[in-house]
Amino acid sequence: MMYLSILLTAILTANFVLSKFLGICPFLGVSKKLNTAVGMSAAVIFVMALSTAVCYPINNILIKNDLEYLQTIVCILVIAALVQLVEIILKKFMPPLYNALGIYLPLITTNCAVLGVVLLNFTEGYTYLQSLVNSVGAGLGFMLAMVLFSGVRSRLESCDIPKFLQGLPIVLIAASIVSLSFMGFTGLVEGLLGV
Amino acid sequence: MKKFKEYAAPTVVLLIICVVAALLLAVTNDVTAPKIAQVNAENEANARREVFVVAADFGEETITADGIKLVPALDANGETIGYVVITVEKGYGGDISVMTGVDLEGKVTGVKPLEMNETPGLGANATKDSFLQQFVGKVAGIGVTKDAPEENEIKALTGATITSKAITDAVNAAIEAMGGENVG
Amino acid sequence: MAEKKSLRKEFTKGLIRENPVMRLVLGTCPTLAVTTSIVNALGMGISAMIVLICSNIVISALRKIIPSKVRIPAYIVIIASFVTIVQMIVKAFVPALDQSLGVFLPLIVVNCIILGRAEAFAGKNGVIASAVDGLGMGIGFTIALCCMGAVREIIGAGTILSGAESLLSIAGITGFDGITLIGENSAISPMTIFILAPGGFFTFGILMACANRIAESKGKPKAELGCAACPMAKNCALLAKGEACEEKKEGTEV
């Protein structure tokens, strides 16, 4: 039950993109086509889960040695190295998967959603398993937002938009409305699971 | 030999940068850590005076088995007249730690959220006096309502039921913890 | 003389012409997330500016020593150390700001403005020019954030500079904690939605439209989320395949 509520909260009520403003760059940049949106989100889910899996024990070691202040620097380095490593491994051993996800990997290193989820897991005080669930949930939430938004954007293409709203402004305003609709989920998790 | 240089040079440079960075951080940490601790202690002391205005002084803090922090509030003669309790509950944006002042009759003397990360404009309104003053004088088992509050009930913040509930739960837990302390 | 002039150009370009937020569309996450009040926006802007100036100086000073192969990790380490230092200082001296910025303070590490300027400017230019570039870009970032913060705070909370005491107290000024425009008991209540997530996107969209309007009257192209400013552009296979940043291409076609 606990894990289900963490998962649903991360996907719906505390959506990373639409309510926490993390990972806005890829959300605006790669959401134009459905297939790129799905590919990017799949890579994000993967990297988020992997980074959490590796950073969590490392952070525990840091805390044990009173080195908490190295948290940010260590986490970002671990994530960057991990992404590189995964890219190399995929390229060498799983070319089909590399072709599907690999091209998005370099972009993810400096994505604030990945470092964000790792750091938030620490401040929330989650256990190892809860952190993993939260990371996967955050990734799934990212995917949901991306997929929904790519649909909205394809509709925008054929619209007659006032001149100065064309391009980025109308995309942001559309994002505002999608985000408004996600606010409707507030209280949903509480209502469903009674937590 | 060329290959060695190709691999060694980047590694060495990166290593040196990392070592220098770590040293720099260690030095800054040494300088700021006592200051941060002092700021936190000051904040807590100020909050204590806010939630228990009539107390002249505060005693040594104790931590219960459930991880709840209890600080006895003392009058001018050094007699215990109540407790300041710090409890933690899960809010909308992570944990909320709440400081509650409770007198010996189990009545709330004051409430103050210490650390929270609630939505600005909604949950963050829980720091406002108009919300917190509702708790003063209430006894164990406080309820939350969205309509006109009845006996021993408080009115929830608009659009922030989860936050209101979390803070109320924290206050109830505080009263309970103090009750346990008295019996034991 | 000529050098002085170009330095001034490096400084002023970040303010308006190449404003990192409104023109280059960099650092959108903090722009949306921390602009719920002017004081938060100012705190974020100043913190990012300090990191930007320091990292620009160090990176440009080391630009000949750092091999290009490990360029990005080296930059990240340098930036992350300055971010942590700023974080510790904020925690020690402005604890209220640390509370309200939350996770976005350490996330300055992955703010594309900082890595972007390291790649685009500091890695290629001298120390003084890079410092000036960092100062200009930092001020431009702060201005943009404050604009967002002002709109959202006035409409969404009905206050101006609320919470200013936490910043002013460092300078020894106390007693001023913002102005309340719409009190708790007044006939109208503020539109809270503006300081919530949807309001952030909306305000940014409208401000961006205004920036485009001004840019057009000066004959400049409108702002797009282009890959040119992305620090990872060089490694980006999407760019090579032509799948990302279609907007830019389409923009030129029209």
Q: Which residue of A has its CA nearest to B22?
A: A70
Contact map slice: A 130-159 vs C, CB within 8 A: none
Chains in touch with B (≥3 Cβ pairs < 8 A): A, C
* pLDDT tens track for C193-252: 888 889 999 999 999 899 888 888 887 777 766 555 555 655 555 555 544 444 333 332
Q: For residues B161 and B147, is the Cβ–Cβ distance under 8 A?
A: no
pLDDT for C248 equals 36
Nearest to B25 by CA among A46, C222, C77: C77
Which stretch of A109-118, A121-130, B96-105, C185-194 has the lowest confidence by average pLDDT?
Answer: C185-194
Backbone angles phi, psi at B174, to 5 degrees: -65, -45
Asked if the Cβ–Cβ distance from B25 to A73 is below 8 Å, we say yes
Mean pLDDT along residues A58-72 = 89
Q: For residues C245 and C225, is the Cβ–Cβ distance under 8 A?
A: yes
**Residue ranges of the domains in chain A?**
2-193
* pLDDT tens track for C155-182: 988 888 887 777 777 777 776 777 888 7
Asked if the Cβ–Cβ distance from A112 to C25 is below 8 Å, we say no
Nearest to A18 by CA among A114, A142, A107: A142
Q: For residues C168 and A140, is the Cβ–Cβ distance under 8 A?
A: no
pLDDT for B45 equals 86
Mean pLDDT along residues B37-64 = 83
Which stretch of A2-11, B88-97, C41-50, C111-120 has the lowest confidence by average pLDDT?
Answer: B88-97
- Name the residue range of residue B162's domain: 52-177
Assigned domain for B64 exists: yes
- Residue with structure tokens 């909604």? B122
Q: For residues B146 and B155, is the Cβ–Cβ distance under 8 A?
A: yes
pLDDT for A148 equals 92
Q: Find chain C residues with C-beta within 8 A of A167's C-beta.
A: 212, 222-224, 247, 251
Question: Sign of the C-alpha dihedral, residues C35, C107, B122, B69?
Answer: negative
Mean pLDDT along residues A59-71 = 88
- Does C77 contact A at CB distance below 8 Å? yes
Q: Which residues contact A138 (CB under 8 A, 6 or more apart)?
A: A10, A11, A16, A48, A113, A117
* pLDDT tens track for A122-150: 888 888 999 999 999 999 999 999 999 99
pLDDT of B180 higher than 60: no
Average pLDDT, chain C: 81
Assigned domain for B1 exists: no
pLDDT for C251 equals 31
Q: Both tokens of residue B91?
A: 């809010």
Asked if the Cβ–Cβ distance from A72 to C106 is below 8 Å, we say yes
Largest CA distance in chain A: 60
Query: What is residue A133's three-state secondary structure?
Result: helix
Q: Find chain C residues with C-beta within 8 A of A77's C-beta.
A: 73, 76-77, 80
Report the residue from A29, A112, A179 with minimal CB separation from C110: A112
Assigned domain for B32 exists: no
* pLDDT tens track for A12-42: 888 888 888 888 888 887 888 888 888 888 8
Q: Which residues contact C119 (CB under 8 A, 6 or more apart)?
A: C71, C75, C231, C234
* pLDDT tens track for B108-156: 888 888 877 777 777 777 888 888 888 888 888 788 887 777 778 888 8
pLDDT for C250 equals 33
> What's the total number of domains in chain B?
1
pLDDT band at C57 (very low <50, low <70, confident <90, very high): very high
Share of chain C above pLDDT 70, in %: 84
- What's the rounded Cα separation, in Å, for the pair A108 and A111? 5
Asked if the Cβ–Cβ distance from A187 to B25 is below 8 Å, we say no
Asked if the Cβ–Cβ distance from B162 to A70 is below 8 Å, we say no
pLDDT of A110 higher than 80: no
Q: Inter-axis angle of helices C127-157 and C2-15, to 10 degrees?
A: 30
**Report for A102-111, A138-147, B16-25: range of highest mean pLDDT:** A138-147
**Strand B153-155 versus strand B143-145 pairing type:** parallel
Asked if the Cβ–Cβ distance from C77 to B10 is below 8 Å, we say no
**Residue ranges of the domains in chain C?**
7-180+191-248
Q: Find chain A residues with C-beta within 8 A of B159's C-beta.
A: 186
Asked if the Cβ–Cβ distance from B18 to C77 is below 8 Å, we say yes
Which of residues C166 and A87 earns the better pLDDT score?
A87
* pLDDT tens track for C114-160: 888 888 888 888 999 999 999 999 999 999 999 999 999 999 888 88
- Does C249 contact B at CB distance below 8 Å? no
pLDDT for A131 equals 93
pLDDT for C132 equals 93
Q: Which residues contact A87 (CB under 8 A, 6 or more apart)?
A: A98, A102, A105, A106
The shortest C-alpha distance from A3 to chain C (Å) reads 23
pLDDT for A190 equals 67
Asked if the Cβ–Cβ distance from C77 to B40 is below 8 Å, we say no
pLDDT for B183 equals 39
Q: How many beta-carbon pairs below 8 A join chains A and C?
A: 160
Share of chain A above pLDDT 70, in %: 97
Q: For residues C95 and B35, is the Cβ–Cβ distance under 8 A?
A: no
Nearest to A90 by CA among A102, A105, A81: A102
